[in-house]
A = this chain, B = another copy of it.
């Protein structure tokens, strides 16, 4: 059973509830929405990602024969239920904000309209996909804003939480504007450009650093980026200058150097000076090691001559905000709007739409959250993606999602394009939605 495609990758209570719904004949249409309740500290906006993988999951929702056999052998559920589950497919509708859209708390980025048992089954994996990709896309977007025009590469595979996290992080950071990833598999899977330099082990396996540099240049002459911090960074930069003359005779040019430790500001300035004095003006400086948006912003604000960054651990773990407080909640069942009223976790009921308005320059000036049946000025952000269990259009290309993300980030209010704390972006709840929430509360009393 492959966890990435298994329909048993769900919480047990989904199956328990599903059985109960079938027992009770509760097969009416349910409307669930996915949204983030509160924006984390250090975030002024979020970026939607993961929709494509959710649609794939829904189109392929089904138990394999092995899974059906296991369910029967585990004796937790009656055979009649297992039979019905084995034949169940997702036959619902999906509306969503396109990937690469900026969003804010309480704004649904995905809505499922489906028979209640199906809509319940898919909850765990749907959140699992949308939450992580949006988390990384948001962190990546902050990096892109902090280092405009720089080469940004996802270096996070090793510290990502398992294989799929490594893949999702490559995808989510690329769609948010990263240049590419170090993860080889992201190239055949997603068509993302891949980048790489060399590791300290390569230097250490050689008798001398200079020998390592020369061997590497000869082996990878079109992408010679030399790692210069294994022993003494500035001494290594001097070696590059000397080596460059010799390599030139072989028709090989050093493309760049990489710094991975120490004071990156000081080292980058000294290394730039050494390279320039040696005539190596075209050799770029690439930096890695503990990089995040704050580090990049600080280095660049102080004028560090760094041309690109590898962003790893802090990107893929979103370390300063390691999760979004998100939920997938029932908003309507059998034609009746529903509302959870738990302390601190109350939800806005009904099928919703988000309208966004812009000023004349194209800058976002405010959103309105309202019922789908209402109309408000601005652009409706939620669009239909799936009807009766089938996609209604081919998947968006990753390139087009990346373009959308770029436009969205450009349209952010200037205060949200910085890393400073800013006043929250205005999201108003329209009167018809407030009225519906009040009506449900009154009905409950």
Contact = CB atoms under 8 A, between A and B. Distances in A.
Interface of A: 1-4, 6, 8-17, 19-21, 23-24, 26, 30, 32, 67, 70, 74, 116, 120, 123-125, 127-129, 131-132, 155, 157-168, 182-185, 187-189, 194-202, 204-205, 215-216, 218-220, 223, 229-231, 260-262, 313, 316-319, 322-323, 326, 329-330, 333-334, 338-345, 444
14 contacts: A10-B157, A11-B157, A12-B195, A17-B198, A17-B216, A19-B220, A125-B163, A127-B158, A128-B166, A161-B161, A161-B168, A162-B164, A230-B341, A313-B323
Given A163-B164, A200-B329, A229-B343, A128 B116 contact: no
A110 to B, nearest CB: 14
- The 3 closest A-B CB pairs, nearest first, are A12-B196, A162-B164, A20-B219
Given A12-B196, A17-B198, A32-B201, 4 more contacts: A11-B182, A120-B202, A162-B165, A319-B322
A10 B338 CA distance: 46
Contact of A128 (B30, B158, B201, B330): B158
Given A162-B162, A205-B330, A444-B231, A182 B340 contact: no
Contact of A9 (B70, B184, B216, B219): B184
A180 to B, nearest CB: 9
Contact of A13 (B199, B205, B343): B199
Q: Of residues A19, A26, A165, A167, which shows the largest number of chain B Cβ atoms within 10 Å of its Cβ? A: A165
A311 to B, nearest CB: 13
Nearest to A132: B161
Contacts of A162: 4, 128-129, 132, 161-165, 167-168
A4 B201 contact: no
Given A8-B185, A12-B194, A183-B9, A229 B161 contact: no
A12 B132 CA distance: 24
